[in-house]
Amino acid sequence: MIVGGASGLGALLARMAVDEGARAIGIIDLNGDAAEAALAPARAAGLPTAFAACDIRTAPAAHAAFDTVAAALGRVDTLVNSAAIYPRRPILEISDDDWDASNAINVKGTYHMMVAAIRHMQAQEMVGRVRGRIVNITSVDAFKAHPQNAHYAATKAAVVSLTKSIAHAVAADGILVNSVAPAGMATEKARASGFLDELAKASPLGRGGEPEEMAEWVLMAGGPRNTYMTGENIIVSGGYIYA
């Protein structure tokens, strides 16, 4: 199940998961048309799919959407939290509304979906030694100074911390909780903004990462090959974070 799976990295994950052997795909997002397009490869492969439209900022709505998709799929082995907003604002101009919106979606929404997933996973049988896996998409911005988007960076740092705390809390249940922190990805939007040029200059590899290169790590953390890693934040930055 992919929250924020209608576009961007989430939609790419929905497509790549089919090639990785996923048995069903569910998406939670506000954009139903885009979600339908993201689910098309799974349907073409004959896999069960499900979608729920949801504003994840409140627990009742987030939990209801999770339960709807989970009921349609029958079992949720992996939850990926990819929904977030990225409102750039100079550091001295961040308003209360900016803070509230970023926290509500990037932190609270992620938390609400994790709680829904944990309750579901606690009730299902182990597969090997694991009942389920949760992967949160964070960002290298959680670790690097970001004066043009400090409130976004702060929310991603919060999700890194939340990931560790919840991983510890549910380890005994056989639920693995990790996060993946990408650097800037070479999307059309990023190319148009000029951000990738800045990233290329700062990166030892001299380029931004391709979305597929980020998605591979999400699939690894959320897939059956991961049976022991939990509470970790995987940084995928091409060396940018250390440069």
How far apart are alpha carbons 131 and 158 in whole angstroms? 25
Sheet holding 132-137, edge to edge: 49-53, 25-29, 2-3, 78-81, 132-137, 175-182, 233-236
H helical segments located in 171-240:
188-193, 195-202, 211-222
Active site residue 152: yes
Q: Which of 86, 152, 228, 242 is catalytic?
A: 152
The SS3 assignment for 104 reads: helix
Measured in degrees and rounded to the nearest 5, phi and psi for residue 135 equal -125, 120
Q: Which amino acid is at 175?
A: I
Q: Would you call 83 exposed, middle or buried from its count of C-beta atoms within 10 A (0-12, 13-18, 19+)?
A: buried
**So which residues are the catalytic ones?**
152
